[in-house]
Structure 1
Amino acid sequence: MSTTLEDVPGNLLRKPSGKPENELQRTASSYKPLHSFSLNKEKSYQQQFADMYFLRLTKLKPAVEQIASAAWAETVIGGEPCKKAERVLDIRQGELCWVSGTVYIDMPLKPDILEDVSKDRWISAPITNDKYYSEDGTISISLEDESGRVPLTGEVLKDYTLVTGCIIAVLGTENADGDLEVIDIKLPELPPQPDRWAVSKQQPAANGGTAGKSKRKVVKDEDDDEEMTDSQPPKSSGGKIAIVSGLSFSSHDASHAIELSLLLEYLLGEALDPNAQQELSQISRLIIAGNSISLEDPRPVADGDKDSKDKQQKKYGYDASSYNALPSQLLDEFLSALLPSLPVTLLPGSRDPANASYPQQPIHAAMFPKSRVYTTVQPSKDGSSSNGESNWFDTVTNPWEGEVDGWRVLGTGGQNIDDIFKYVGSDDRLGMMECTARWRLSAPTAPDTLWSYPFQDDDPFVMQTCPHLYFVGCQPTFGTRVVTGPEGQAVRLVAVPSFTESHELVLVDSDTLDVTRVKISAV
């Protein structure tokens, strides 16, 4: 005779109800990467860097001159009308004129390539100062074009953030010292902004977005199967885009290991109540914005350790025997745990295993033996390639440009803003991001103080279109604001803090671009 739970008096057990639990379904998103910063397979460093400045000036000069001409066309000061100087060398002393060109700033603390060569520092990584800016007034600002260079002076220069490489138009008159006394400045302003879903209307959404439904279960609207046309853009997903940076997986620093584990559980929705899991199911994609690996080795070198001293004196600064694969293995394990549920876009940073010069190319899939099965192309045993599910695990360039849920997105690992920070006396990182947008340059200081590939046919750092979302990773603190342009452009700026220091990630609403900051704490 069998006994059931109902027959046992006073038991604390309850049999299953037989009703299935509500199955959570992660929101899918439309995702289309743009390869704006990809280099050709055949890279050449034989050309001069000056070509980049000529290309940049050629592209941005018409835009800034259009704004300057509209603003100063009828300007009359002291009875003298304003005239346009076609070149810097056409400026005449005592005449009120305006001219456009490229800014060059000379600072005593800036690195000098000739000094580096003379001291045999050209074969190793660049030696840079934390700050080029100084309060002693030794900064010299000039404006140059293909004809020559003229020094700029005037109190109005203090009201603008300027760095080497940006294109501006200045209004003023040449003084007795041969300097151009500036009374007004115009910037190129925000570039034209495309409509939402502009890229998806031209090309179908990539797998890993709405096409990635074989990997996860997605709630469908009643008319979700309708084909997209130019007059009917894709419907909003109602999801959220998670952005994090500075994970800094390390073999020696375990100070934030608990927070990294909690971050993984948070993104996967584990160990949380059903209401929180329902909210987390709206996260449709994770973007990792640089510095996922920490390569610093804190081990001190003993005075009597001759081998260690020899390693320190390696001429090329690298010793294969000191390579530590553990940080990349930890990152690979982290990604492999996420990827079955959540697609990931990975940008390299200054500390990641990618090329040091801008734009950084994608981290090679060989660094991720467990996660690379989710990349676009999967290597097979015989050495050939087989197509994987496109863009589910997308290792991209830094900077990176793409379309996510219809929004045009531009993101970097932070080196462009970190380098601009060295030129100015302000700590306003969002202000620096706004300046790059109004300059139409994602990396204006490249190639002067930010190492860059010597482009000869095109300058990819020039913003051809205005993004809707512009994020920069590895920043000291979180910040966000919306900036607008003269033609109705609106850009959501997001400074993403380093997770190592802040234990924070950012959630961006896919419908409104509203930003939420999430704190991961073990306390």
Structure 2
Amino acid sequence: MCSEESTRAECAYAACGRPGDESAPPSFQVQFSQLYFTRLMQLRPHIARAARAQCCDSHVAPDGDGTSGGSAASPGAPSTHFAQRILEARRDAVSNVLIGVAFRSMIGKPSILAEYAAQEQNGTSLVPRPPQHSAHKYEQSASDTVILEDETSRVTLDLSHFSGPTVVSGLVIGVRGSESLISKGTFVVQDVIFPGLAPQPPLSSTGDVKGFRKTVCLVSGLNFEHKTSSTSQTLALNMLHELLMGNVGMHTSSAQIARLIVLGNSTAARSEQDKDAEYVRAVQRLDSFLSGVCASLPVHLLPGPSDPTSLLMPQLPFHQSLLKQSAMTGRLHREMNPSFFQLDGATFLCTGGQSVVDFLKYCPDEGASAACAMDQMLQCRHVAPTGPDTVPVQPLSAKDPFVLDETPRVFVAGNQAEFSTCLVQQDDITCRCIGIPAFSEKPSAVLLDLDSLEVNQIDLSV
């Protein structure tokens, strides 16, 4: 059997720090708007550089800050003016480049104010509850508006002439265009400028002393309940366990599996009727399954919206008092959501997937995949752009922990509707994006080759 230590492939693990480690503790006494302005400060320089690179005829002030001072018309007016702030846009320029945070107003988006008003009208108190993670997209209408905002002011954007990627709430973007001659206060956008991919550190090759090709197994959405799972679900879990142990006729492939990464929603969502004892049994069933896997290989466990930890991203790891059987093996790694770590020198960015699911709700294209959304997130250098608007996040004001300072080599999101993947390549940057479906809905496991970044989805449904 390949579960023996002498035949199991191994890969080196290194923690890369946790999101929010360098930030001040969250304070619920401050407004969430501070997070948007912090995000703007972090990403503005990158967008300014990208904008100047795209506009060959840019007009930059001698001090290099992107402003030219004053707004009066002059014979030497620039063809493209880079405004340091929205209020500094020049009407005499052929076009202006503005940088700010986008906000998309849609009638179908969840609204805490609307919910509060409904509760007040019904005479009931507003009880905090987890967001309802529906697969339905946010309803769009002709009355929807997109607003760009910075520290000084805001302006309504007319995106009817732009056919590029969807602009979702919370993105820090640059827009090139001019003020509408028909509707004052509206900025007609000709092009949207994103920060672009963050730098990627060189891959350090460690090599496998045992000569194995090494793969990582990825699953999500195990959704253990307090009661016994259905027959098909139980058989699928047994198939997953046998795959990891090498007992299903795939001895060679299983021997190459160096680690298992579980990407959120390992326990089923708790309803208001569930008793504490029932929820504890669900965690115990998860512990029993993971302890069997940890006996053979290391497991990285990320929380999701339905797991017993904080709801706000970055989600804290499973508490040390939980999963004691698995912890006794010494091979259980409790990760945050999102989480950064290295395997054999390759940086992994793993998430429970709620930010990707919410991102897709803004996209009008029904065929948009999770991998495509993740590609755009990399281009925007942000893991959860729609938070805190429609994704619950911690009110961190010193630094936005979701801004990407470097591009990972592997970006994985769990609990997606379908399996999807794409390889993002630009210059010397390579990143594999993978969307993993929930195991309880579509039983499958994804094997990722650490060397070639090739992926293989294994169907475990019975």
Instruction: Please classify the TM superposition score into its range, dividing by the shorter chain length.
Output: 0.7 to 0.9
Structure 1 residue 220, shift from structure 2 partner: 4.1
Q: Distance in 2 between matches of 1:68 and 1:43?
A: 33
Going from structure 1 to structure 2, the CA distance change for 1:70 and 1:517 (only over 3 Å counts) comes to same
Partner residue of 2:217?
A: 242
Of the three residues 151, 154, 165, the one matched with 2:156 is 151
Q: Distance in 2 between matches of 1:23 and 1:466?
A: 33
Partner residue of 1:53?
A: 36
Structure 1 residue 122, shift from structure 2 partner: 4.3
Q: Distance in 1 between matches of 2:298 and 2:418?
A: 26
- 1:140-184 deviation per Cα after TM superposition (whole angstroms, max 9, x unaligned): 011111011000003233422111111111111101312001111
Contact 1:93-1:174 within 8 A present in 2 as well: yes
What count of residue pairs does the alignment treat as equivalent? Answer: 428
- 1:310-341 deviation per Cα after TM superposition (whole angstroms, max 9, x unaligned): xxxxxxx5775664322111111101111111
What's the secondary structure of 2:324's corresponding residue?
coil
Partner residue of 1:114?
A: 113
Q: Distance in 2 between matches of 1:83 and 1:324?
A: 58
Q: Distance in 2 between matches of 1:41 and 1:327?
A: 34
Structure 1 residue 263, shift from structure 2 partner: 0.9
Q: TM-score, normalised by structure 2?
A: 0.86
What's the secondary structure of 1:464's corresponding residue?
coil
Contact 1:237-1:510 within 8 A present in 2 as well: no
Computing the radius of gyration over CA atoms, which structure comes out larger, 1 or 2? 1
Q: Which amino acid counterpart does residue 194 of structure 1 have in structure 2?
A: P
Identity over aligned pairs, percent: 31
Q: Distance in 2 between matches of 1:321 and 1:186?
A: 49
Partner residue of 2:141?
A: 136
Of the three residues 430, 439, 449, the one matched with 1:509 is 449
Of the three residues 351, 365, 386, the one matched with 2:306 is 351
Matches within 5 A, 1:247-286: 247-252=222-227, 253-254=229-230, 255-270=232-247, 272-273=248-249, 276-286=250-260
Of the three residues 341, 345, 351, the one matched with 1:412 is 351
Partner residue of 1:30?
A: 12
Contact 2:270-2:279 within 8 A present in 1 as well: no
Partner residue of 2:57?
A: 74
Q: Does 1:289 align with 2:259?
A: no
Contact 1:93-1:175 within 8 A present in 2 as well: no
Partner residue of 1:87?
A: 85
Structure 1 residue 48, shift from structure 2 partner: 2.1
Partner residue of 1:98?
A: 97
Structure 1 residue 250, shift from structure 2 partner: 1.8
Going from structure 1 to structure 2, the CA distance change for 1:373 and 1:322 (only over 3 Å counts) comes to closer
Q: Distance in 2 between matches of 1:149 and 1:237?
A: 56
Of the three residues 47, 59, 71, the one matched with 1:64 is 47
Q: Distance in 2 between matches of 1:151 and 1:158?
A: 17
Q: Distance in 1 between matches of 2:274 and 2:139?
A: 37
Partner residue of 1:160?
A: 165
Going from structure 1 to structure 2, the CA distance change for 1:137 and 1:410 (only over 3 Å counts) comes to same
Partner residue of 1:324?
A: 279
- 1:4-37 deviation per Cα after TM superposition (whole angstroms, max 9, x unaligned): xxxxxxxxxxxxxxxxxx9961011111122222
Partner residue of 1:465?
A: 406
CA RMSD of aligned residues (A): 2.6
Q: Distance in 1 between matches of 2:9 and 2:276?
A: 45
Structure 1 residue 137, shift from structure 2 partner: 1.7
Q: Distance in 1 between matches of 2:131 and 2:257?
A: 40
Q: Distance in 1 between matches of 2:24 and 2:133?
A: 33
Q: Distance in 1 between matches of 2:44 and 2:20?
A: 25
Q: Which amino acid counterpart does residue 437 of structure 1 have in structure 2?
A: L
Q: TM-score, normalised by structure 1?
A: 0.76
